[in-house]
Structure 1
Amino acid sequence: MPPSPSAAESSERMPGTAEVFVGPGLGEPVTVLPRLNPAVFGFMAGGLAACGAVTFTNPMEVVKTRLQLQGENLIPSGSTRTGAPRLRLGTLSTLTFLFRSEGLAGLQKGLGTAYLYQLCLNGTRLGLYTPTKDFFTRHLAEATAAGEVPRNRTAVNILSGMVAGIAGACVGSPLYLIKTRMQSYSTAAGVGHQHHYTGTWGALRRILRQDGVRGLFRGMDASMVRTGVGSAVQLSAYDKCKDTLLGLNGGDSWFQDNIYTHSVASLLTGLLVCFVMNPFDVVSTRMYNQKTDPVTGRGSLYRNPAHCLVTTFRSEGISAFYKALVPQYVRLGPHTVLMFVFMEQIKALGQKWDLVG
C-alpha cells in the first residue's frame, strides 16, 4: 500500500487550509481547500440549505401569495367587513386552477428570484444567528455556575433570532418585493395589483427607473416585523426542540444527533412558526404587492404596516390574517424540515472535511 503523506508534508500546507483526500486509498492526490471563517461558512450553509428547500416548496409559496391577495381588489375604500364582497377560493382549488391555467411553469413562478432571495435572507439570517447568539451569551447571559447552561438561554436565543431575522429581511427585501409581484401575476385571473415583470433583472431595472432606490425597499418595514418575529420563534424553537429531544431518557432514546431528530424538531418548529407568523405574512404580502403612485411614491391602499393591519381587519375581519394558513404550513413545514436537515448535513460535511477554522 502506498505510504500516507508524512507529518512533515502535512505541516507544509499553508495555514488556514484543509486537506481533502480524493481517490480510493491513502497516497492519492490531495485537494487543499481554504478554511472558512465560521460566519462565512454559516452564510453559505444557510443559503444553500434554503435554496435546496425552496426548490420543493415554491409551488405552495405561489398558492399562498395568491390566496393572501384574493379579495383585496374587491374591497372598496372605507368598506366594512360586513359589506365587502369576498372570494371563496381555497387551497386545493387555487392549486388546481393555477396548474390548469398556467401549467408547471406557473407552479414554479418566481423560482429564480426565490433562489436569490433565499441566499440573501437565509444566508444572512442563519449565518448571523450563531455569532449573534454567542455575542449575547457572553454579554447578557448569567450562568448559574461555571460551565452550566445560562438561566436566560431561551431569551438569548429569541433575541438572537430576531436580530438575525431583521438583518436578513433588510438584505433580502428587494428580492422579496420582486418575488411577491412575480408570483401574484397571472394572465388568467390575477389577484391584487398586477405587475408584469419579464425576469428578476428586468424587474430591478424597471423599479429603479420608476421609483428609484427607495422603491426597491418598499415594504421592508413590514418584512422586518414578519421575518424578525418568525426568525425569533423559528430559530429559538428549533434549538429548544432539538435540545429537548436529545435530552429524553438521558440521551438513550431514539433521538440522537441525526437526521431523524433534526426532522422531528424542524416539523414541530414549522407548526409553531406558521401560526405566529401568518398575520405578519399577510400584511407583508399586501404591502409589497400594492400599486404605488408614480408621483408621490405612496401606496394606493396602505400607508404603512399598521394601516394595512387596521384596514384589513376592518374590511375582512380577523380571519383575513389567517388566509392561506393551510398552504402556509404545507410550504413552511417541509421548508423548515428540508432547510434545517440540509443545513445540519452541510455543517457535518464542513466538520468532516475540516473546512471551518
Structure 2
Amino acid sequence: MSGGAQALKDEGTQQQVVIAGAVAGLVSRFVISPLDVIKIRLQLQIHSLSDPLSHRGITGPIYKGTLGTLKAILREEGITALWKGNVPAELLYLAYGSTQFLTYRSTSAILSSGDYTPFHYIPHPGVVSFVSGAFAGTVATTTTYPLDLLRTRFAAQGNERIYASLLSSVREIHKYEGLPGFFRGLGAGVSQIVPYMGLFFLSYETLKPVMSNLSLPLGSGDAAAGVLASVMSKTAVFPLDTVRKRLQVQGPHRARYVHRNIPLYKGVVGTIRTIMRREGMRGMYRGLSVSLLKSAPTSAVTMWTFERVMALERMFDGEEEGK
C-alpha cells in the first residue's frame, strides 16, 4: 500500500482516532457555522422560472447571492442568527467526526489485511480508500441523521421561533411526525454521502503525499489536500444535498420557516422532478458557491486539526510511557 494511504490508517490507537476526529469536528463546525446557515437558506429558497411570484404568492427570491444573504440575515435577525442550529450541529459533528474516522480506519485495516476478503485478496490502495470512505460516510450519516435534520430546521427558522429548544423540537417531531420524521431525506443523504466520502478520501489520500512535499507554511499540506479533495467531491454530489435539505423541512411547520413557499415534496426522485420542473438545473445547484466556500475551510480545519491532535496525543502518550 502507498505511504500516503497507509499513514492515516496506521496513526494511533482507536481511542486517539476517536478523540482527534471529535475535536476536529467541533472546531470546524464552530468556524464555518455562518456559512452553513447561509447555504441552507439559499438551498431552501424557491424561485420558479415560469412564475415570478413563485409559490404561494411570494414575490421573487428573498436572498441574492452569498453576500446578499449575509447582509439580509444580519439586518433582519442579528449576528446570532449565523449560529442558528449550532447546538445540534456541534453534537452532530462531534458524533459524526469520531464515527467517520473510526469506521474509516477500521474498515481500511480490514480490507488492507485481506483476512475478510475473498481468497484473502488485498485490493488496490485506491479501492481501499474509496470503499472505506463510502462505508464510513454511510455509517456516520445514518447514525447521526436526526441531529442533521434538527440542524437544518433550526437554521431555516427566521424571526419566528418554531422550536423553543432542542429538547422541545425532539418532543414535537416525535409527537406529530413519529420516528420517521427524524429521518426525512435520509435516502438522499446516503445517496450523496457514499460517492462524496468515497471520492473525498480517495482524493485526499492521493493528494496528501503530493502536498506534503510542497513547501507550505505551518505544515498545511494536509489542509490543502483536504480543500482540493472536498471541492471536487462536493461539486459532484451537490444536487443530492439540495434534495436532502428540501426534504428535511417537510412536515407540519413547512410554511412557517423563513421561506414560507417551500412546496410539498415526496421522495428523492419526486423532489428532483419538482425542482427541475419549477426551477431548472440552476435550482439543483442553488447555494453551490457558498457550499464550496464552506467546504474548503471545513475540510482544511478538520483534516489539519485531526492530524495535529493525533500528533499531540502520540507525543503525550509517549511522554507518559517514558515516565
* TM class, shorter-length: 0.7 to 0.9
For 2:243, the aligned partner's letter is V
Structure 2: where are the runs of 5+ without partners? 1-11, 55-59, 255-261
When normalised by structure 1's length, the TM-score is 0.75
Q: Is the CA contact 2:231–2:292 (under 8 Å) kept in the aligned structure 1? A: yes
2:112 — aligned with what? Answer: 137
* SS in structure 1 at match of 2:84: coil
**Structure-to-structure mapping, 1:99-178, within 5 angstroms:** 99-139=74-114, 140=117, 152-178=124-150
For 1:197, the aligned partner's letter is Y
Larger radius of gyration: 1
Q: Distance in 2 between matches of 1:141 and 1:340?
A: 33
* SS in structure 1 at match of 2:230: helix
How far apart are 1:58 and its partner, in Å? Answer: 0.4
**Structure-to-structure mapping, 1:153-302, within 5 angstroms:** 153-187=125-159, 196-246=162-212, 248=213, 254=215, 259-291=219-251, 301-302=264-265
For 1:180, the aligned partner's letter is T
Q: Deviations over 1:260-303 (max 9, x none)?
A: 21122122122212312321110111111123599xxxx97222
Q: Distance in 2 between matches of 1:313 and 1:275?
A: 18
For 2:77, the aligned partner's letter is E
How far apart are 1:62 and its partner, in Å? Answer: 0.3
Supply the RMSD in Å over aligned alpha carbons.
2.9
Q: Distance in 1 between matches of 2:301 and 2:168?
A: 31
Q: Distance in 2 between matches of 1:169 and 1:270?
A: 17
Q: Distance in 2 between matches of 1:227 and 1:278?
A: 10
Aligned match for 1:326, one of 289, 294, 303? 289
How far apart are 1:218 and its partner, in Å? Answer: 2.1
Q: Is the CA contact 1:293–1:300 (under 8 Å) kept in the aligned structure 2? A: no
Q: Distance in 1 between matches of 2:193 and 2:283?
A: 19
Residues 45, 141 of structure 1: CA spacing in aligned structure 2 closer, same or farther, 3 A cutoff? farther
How far apart are 1:255 and its partner, in Å? Answer: 6.3
2:8 — aligned with what? Answer: none
1:50 aligns with 2:18: no
Higher helix share: 2
Q: Is the CA contact 1:141–1:152 (under 8 Å) kept in the aligned structure 2? A: no
How far apart are 1:196 and its partner, in Å? Answer: 0.9
Residues 141, 40 of structure 1: CA spacing in aligned structure 2 closer, same or farther, 3 A cutoff? farther
Q: Distance in 1 between matches of 2:82 and 2:310?
A: 31
* SS in structure 2 at match of 1:354: helix
Q: Deviations over 1:84-122 (max 9, x none)?
A: 645262111111000111111101111111100111222
Q: Deviations over 1:121-170 (max 9, x none)?
A: 222112211111111222359999xxxxx772112211110100010111
Q: Distance in 2 between matches of 1:217 and 1:170?
A: 9
Q: Deviations over 1:167-205 (max 9, x none)?
A: 0111110011111010011027xxxxxx71122222111
* SS in structure 2 at match of 1:187: coil
For 2:131, the aligned partner's letter is L
Q: Deviations over 1:327-350 (max 9, x none)?
A: 111211101100100100111112
1:350 — aligned with what? Answer: 313
Identity of matched residues, %: 24
1:66 — aligned with what? Answer: 41
Structure 1: where are the runs of 5+ without partners? 1-36, 76-80, 145-149, 189-194
Q: Is the CA contact 1:42–1:126 (under 8 Å) kept in the aligned structure 2? A: yes
How far apart are 1:66 and its partner, in Å? Answer: 0.4
Q: Deviations over 1:20-59 (max 9, x none)?
A: xxxxxxxxxxxxxxxxx93343222112101101111000
Residues 284, 152 of structure 1: CA spacing in aligned structure 2 closer, same or farther, 3 A cutoff? same
* Worse-matched range after superposition: 60-69 or 100-109: 100-109
* SS in structure 2 at match of 1:56: helix
Residues 292, 40 of structure 1: CA spacing in aligned structure 2 closer, same or farther, 3 A cutoff? farther
For 2:197, the aligned partner's letter is S
Q: Is the CA contact 1:117–1:172 (under 8 Å) kept in the aligned structure 2? A: yes
